[in-house]
Amino acid sequence: MLSVFRASAANDSSVPIMPTSTVEDYLKSILRLTQDADGIATVGGIAAELGVTPGTVSSMMRHLSDQNLIDYVPRKSVTLLPEGRQQALLVVRRHRLIESFLVEIMRFDWSEVHEEAEVLEHVVSDRLLQRMDDILGHPSHDPHGDPIPDASGNLEQEDTHSLAEANVGPTYRIVRVQDSDPNFLDWLRENGLLPGCEIKLASRDAMAGVTEVIGPPPEHRTTRLGDSAATGVLVVPVRNAT
């Protein structure tokens, strides 16, 4: 009887399919790509990010479309529908809370936690996640400055700019680091460029692709960043900075 039920359920698109780690990875990838491309992702972009073939992505897109999680136009675009966006944001919430817990409670370095969270985000229970959130005091941002969606999948939008786009002269506060590469995060920490610190954008050499910043006191260390590094550091201007 059980095998008959499973067979019939597999052929009935009205029967909801529980999210799997693969589905969650796809939804999270689409969310990340659409945030950078006016709300639209492509099969090619998803394939490149996840390291799979376009044919594999197309097959999954049809599956997600059948589940009313995405709007899929073959060979053109992929966009998240409301239910798909909420599921993606809840995966992001798990990831960022886990990262926060590993850093704040387990004393991992911020450069170590991304890969651990990539695994744990698919297996941690809602009950355990809620306990982590309670212990942490309900943080609004993870160790890299990324905003944490709330329990309903709502995400606060932030008006930030990368250092590569910011104007020379003003003082800025680092609010977020987009790159999860451990070597880059170690380098930022060694140079005192962490979320929450204030820096002055001293100069930019567009031809050389180098941005120079002056770090926070007491060292006021001067650090030079290439375009790739500067793009990964998001900042907001500090009002009334002296």
Residue that terminates a domain, selected from 61, 80, 99 = 80
Domain span including residue 187: 161-237
Tell me if 64 is assigned to some domain.
Answer: yes
Biggest alpha carbon–alpha carbon distance for the chain: 74
**What share of the chain has pLDDT > 90, as a percent?**
77
Tell me if 145 is assigned to some domain.
Answer: no
pTM above 0.95?
no
Q: DSSP labels for 107-150?
A: ---TTTHHHHHHHHTTT--HHHHHHHHHHHT--SB-TTSPBPP-
- At 186-217, the pLDDT tens digits run 999 999 999 999 999 999 998 999 999 998 87
Number of domains into which the chain is organized: 2
Tell me if 156 is assigned to some domain.
Answer: no
- 220: domain CATH number is 2.30.30.90
pLDDT at 220: 86
Residue that terminates a domain, selected from 80, 99, 123 = 80
pLDDT at 241: 59
- 38: domain CATH number is 1.10.10.10
What is the spatial distance between Cα 57 and Cα 53, in angstroms, rounded to a whole number? Answer: 7
Residue that terminates a domain, selected from 48, 80, 112 = 80
- What is the three-class DSSP state of 68? coil
Tell me if 189 is assigned to some domain.
Answer: yes
What does pLDDT average to over the chain? 88
Residue 242 has pLDDT above 70, yes or no: no
Q: Which of 96-100, 131-135, 161-165, 215-219 is the least confident region? A: 215-219
Tell me if 216 is assigned to some domain.
Answer: yes
pLDDT at 20: 84
Tell me if 242 is assigned to some domain.
Answer: no
